[in-house]
Chains A and B, each alone.
Chain A
Amino acid sequence: MNYKRPKADVVIVGLGWSGSTMAEELTRAGLKVVAIERGAWRDTSTSFPTTRDPDELSGSVRKDILQAPVTETYTVRNKVGQTALPMRKYHNLTLGNNVGGAGTHWAGASWRWLPFDHQPYSHVMQRYGAGQLVDGLILQDWGVTYNDLEPFYDRFEKIAGTSGTAGVINGQRQPGGNPFEGSRTSPYPTPALERSRANVLFAEAATRLGYHPFPVPSAMIGAPYKNALGLNLAPCTYCGYCQLYGCGNWSKSSPNICILPVLMQRPNFTVVTECEVIRINTTPDRKTATGVTFVDSDGNIGEQPADIVITATFTLDNTRLLLLSGISTPYDVASGQGVVGRAFTFQTLSWGFMFFENEYLNPFMNTGALATQIDDFNGDNFDHTGLGFIGGAGIQSLSNQGLPIGMAGLLPQGSPQWGKGWKQAFRKGYQNYAQIQGQGTSFAHREQFLDLDPTYKDRFGQPLLRITFDYNENDRRSGRFIRDKCVEIAREMGATQVGGDSFADRPYSGYTPWDSSHVQGGVVMGEDPRTSVQNRFQQNWDVHNLFVIGASSFPNNAGYNPTVVVGATTLWTAKAIRDLYLKNPGPLVRL
């Protein structure tokens, strides 16, 4: 049976961080907002009580909280000419599938990106010139700068209750913080958490080597805090069931604890759960969106008409929805023309792995982002002349895992993986293993893109999204450079066994253990409709009442995690809708 819901002012597709942040802004402005979410409702006390949440098997092993491949998956190939195949089992992208999105189970590293990351093109051209770029690299500015976003970064941190130590406030260096960060107008809402033993060893070693360690800002609330929306957040307990888990303590900033309890008080807000949007509907001239079409849990088709359509389904599904709906021109790799699916990026990870002899690292006392970092080799914080690449990585001692099933294979080199020898090695390795992650930049390339798969379909018979991605030469060069730094610090930490790895030296796979879940681009914002899908306000160049928000808008990835930038750009767009668009609906940027 097909049916139509009453018209709304705004329909928001997906209710993760970006969808709920937008919904809060627009309902506060008095608009009638309907959100449509594929997953089920989740709230802290019912879904993640501390009396059932600490369960490694259903959590990070069986991954019950994630979007299952049977619901939707993606096909992958490294390059044009190969046949893309579906990721049939749970893979590294570990997407969310509930109200709250991935923001419910994320790791919580909470970064503002560097001013460089928002304007990489101008910056590189000015400092090095085009010769610094490897063949095929796509580099472009966002159309919005760090300074434009600062007030929105600030606001988002005050919604999230972010913990950290400021490095630069109003241009003044602050002790203990990141000296390389963009200037802030206020300190972090809550103080940085205590450090793990591994973090301390890292900070000491990095300082001896002349680097500048600081605590990674995080979603793990550092002290009791009433957030910008009046909700009470509680301090983190270092419980160790963090990434891939909900938080039972109201301590990990998430849409579920920071926004939804407020939204649900507002009569002009409705969320329809367990419905999957399959189309953005437009007028026949494709100049105006009229709403969305969704499938409910009975397989019936519903329509939600609205004056403004906002999709907030994360990078991959945002791109897929535009392709399925025939909105804007798909990217064509042969000609390099077209925009939807273009400028797709991932993350370039490098690692230092190490074992100590007689430590008690007590790895179970951790959080998703209990990390100490140096930014000396991130962004453009160092001179790249003669290095043959741009970008770099945040290099961090990351204490985010102590659960035993996940650690059972992390053994000193040469140890048996089973039998009596395994028991001894595991017993020792468990307390003596530490890691340094180089979380590296990823720049777009003309051969990395997203389009619809010609063969594989989803449960509704619609084409899956196809990912064509491999690391490019810039990634490989920066990856090795960063790996060597990770190894240098690991040695200085006094570990007896040290190993290094640069993932970019192997073909990209969705199954590399310890790999990232960060994918960006595909629906990027920018200054030129030939190289971007949307203008600087995340407004579609062709369909003026369509806004696609989230990391899909970013034409490059930084040496950081993306979510605070997602929050800030969402707030920036919400303000443009409220203050500019509602008064005069139409293109906000005219060329």
Chain B
Amino acid sequence: MKRRDVIKGGLVLMATSTLASIYKPAYSKTYVGGTGAWRATPPPPLSVVDASRLVYLTPDEAKLVGAIFDVLIPADELGMGATEAGCVTFLDHQLAGPYGTAAKDYKLGPVVEGLPQQGPQSIMTPAEIYRKGLVELEQAAHAKFNRSFMELSEEQKITFLHGIENGAIAFETLKSEQFFVLLLQNVREGYLADPMYGGNRDMVGWKLVGFPGAIYDYRDWIVSKRGKKIDVHPVSLLGRA
């Protein structure tokens, strides 16, 4: 029986039967004081994502994302660009997981557009937005330049992405400016999250701003380095092979 039916039936009837022994559900737990058994279930061990193969994006999609990401965070004297830093790998794994399926969102209907202050109402998931958005972006590039985004000059890429960002270049199945917001958020995440997620290679993003990472104890510096530059090699949770 589906959970919802049970509840409805139960609520209407309120028929509770006393059981000789308490029913033990699969997941819910009972912790009794004084028994010593009150440890949490440990979270799964940390692991480094496997960058050797794609898990959600197709190879073509991955190339296109890489080209876009490298405009958003280009290689320069301050450090490597987004693709080299692993941001495409990062995104690919994010889209394959609970983030990609928007597993935590409320998705029940009715789905209607509201006022801006009521927040996003679309129930399209990030994985779906990328699948559609990338197709639309390519179509828009072809419509404007008669070729793929990847074949545009650096300057054309920048102008084109500005058009996506401000909505001047519109999509049909989703809002281009919302797709851009997602692209920018995800590339920054990849560049700045712990390297175990696939991006931020050699902690390049952290070095860019001088963020020390997972050091977790600044008692020595809170006074001695107040207002002073701190030169320290950042620390990540898990390195990357």
Q: Which of B17-25, B134-142, B143-151, B169-177 contacts A (4 or more CB under 8 A)?
A: B17-25
Cβ of A583 under 8 Å from chain B: no
Give CA–CA (A66, B213) in the complex, Å.
23
- Contact, CB under 8 Å: B74 / A420: yes
Contact pattern, B 183-214, Cβ under 8 Å of A = 1, otherwise 0: 01000110011100100000001101111111
Main DSSP-derived SS at the A contact region: loop
Give CA–CA (A509, B211) in the complex, Å.
32
Q: Which of A73-81, A344-352, A485-493, A558-566 contacts B (4 or more CB under 8 A)?
A: A73-81
Cβ of A460 under 8 Å from chain B: yes
Give CA–CA (A270, B110) in the complex, Å.
40
A42, A200, A237: which has the most chain B beta carbons within 10 Å?
A: A237
- Contact, CB under 8 Å: B28 / A459: no
Contact pattern, B 6-33, Cβ under 8 Å of A = 1, otherwise 0: 1110110011111100110111111111
Cβ of A130 under 8 Å from chain B: no
- Contact, CB under 8 Å: A200 / B226: yes
A273 in contact with B31 given A237-B218, A299-B6, A460-B4 (CB within 8 Å): yes
Q: Which of A85, A194, A300, A359 contacts B118 (CB 8 A)?
A: A85
Cβ of A4 under 8 Å from chain B: yes
Give CA–CA (A61, B191) in the complex, Å.
14
- Contact, CB under 8 Å: B209 / A297: no
- Contact, CB under 8 Å: B26 / A3: no
A459 in contact with B18 given A267-B33, A430-B210 (CB within 8 Å): no
- Contact, CB under 8 Å: A455 / B110: yes
Closest residue of chain B to A67 (Cβ to Cβ) is: B104
Contact pattern, B 152-163, Cβ under 8 Å of A = 1, otherwise 0: 000000100100
Expressed in whole angstroms, the minimum distance between the Cβ of B76 and any Cβ of chain A is 5
- Contact, CB under 8 Å: B7 / A461: yes
- Contact, CB under 8 Å: B192 / A238: no
Cβ of B59 under 8 Å from chain A: no
Q: Which of B19, B206, B227 contacts A359 (CB 8 A)?
A: B227
Give CA–CA (A298, B7) in the complex, Å.
11
Give CA–CA (A63, B27) in the complex, Å.
22
Expressed in whole angstroms, the minimum distance between the Cβ of B151 and any Cβ of chain A is 19
Cβ of A264 under 8 Å from chain B: yes
CB contacts (< 8 Å) of B120 on chain A: these are 88-89
- Contact, CB under 8 Å: B25 / A365: no
Expressed in whole angstroms, the minimum distance between the Cβ of B93 and any Cβ of chain A is 11
- Contact, CB under 8 Å: B219 / A238: yes
Closest residue of chain B to A299 (Cβ to Cβ) is: B3
Contact pattern, B 75-92, Cβ under 8 Å of A = 1, otherwise 0: 010110000000000000
Cβ of A149 under 8 Å from chain B: no
Q: Which of A53, A69, A405 contacts B193 (CB 8 A)?
A: A405
- Contact, CB under 8 Å: B104 / A43: no
Those of A220-236 within 8 Å (CB) of chain B:
235
CB contacts (< 8 Å) of A590 on chain B: these are none
Cβ of B241 under 8 Å from chain A: no
- Contact, CB under 8 Å: B16 / A4: yes
- Contact, CB under 8 Å: A460 / B3: yes
Cβ of A30 under 8 Å from chain B: no
Q: Which of B16, B33, B210 contacts A266 (CB 8 A)?
A: B33
Closest residue of chain B to A403 (Cβ to Cβ) is: B211
Cβ of A263 under 8 Å from chain B: yes
Give CA–CA (A127, B205) in the complex, Å.
56
Contact pattern, A 275-310, Cβ under 8 Å of B = 1, otherwise 0: 100110000000000000101111111110000000
Cβ of A54 under 8 Å from chain B: yes
Give CA–CA (A173, B111) in the complex, Å.
57
Q: Which of A62, A239, A361, A508 contacts B117 (CB 8 A)?
A: A508
Those of A490-521 within 8 Å (CB) of chain B:
506-511
- Contact, CB under 8 Å: A40 / B40: yes
Which of A's residues lie within 8 Å of B, judged by CB? Answer: 1-6, 27, 40-43, 46-47, 50-57, 61-63, 68-70, 73, 76-78, 82-83, 85-91, 193-197, 200, 235, 237-241, 248-249, 260, 263-275, 278-279, 293, 295-303, 359-362, 364-365, 402-405, 407-408, 417-420, 422-424, 426-427, 430-431, 455-457, 459-462, 506-511
Would you give 20 A-B contacts (Cβ < 8 Å), ordered by A?
A47-B43, A52-B43, A54-B214, A54-B237, A76-B119, A77-B118, A85-B114, A86-B106, A89-B119, A89-B120, A237-B216, A238-B217, A299-B1, A300-B23, A360-B230, A362-B221, A407-B209, A418-B72, A462-B7, A507-B115
Task: Rank and list the top 6 A-B pairs by shortest CB-CB distance, nearest first.
Answer: A297-B27, A509-B117, A299-B3, A68-B104, A54-B214, A269-B33
Q: A42-B40, A70-B106, A272-B31 are in contact. List 19 more A-B contacts (CB 8 A).
A: A3-B16, A3-B18, A27-B33, A43-B38, A46-B39, A85-B118, A195-B226, A196-B226, A239-B217, A264-B33, A295-B7, A362-B221, A362-B226, A362-B227, A365-B218, A424-B78, A431-B209, A457-B108, A461-B8
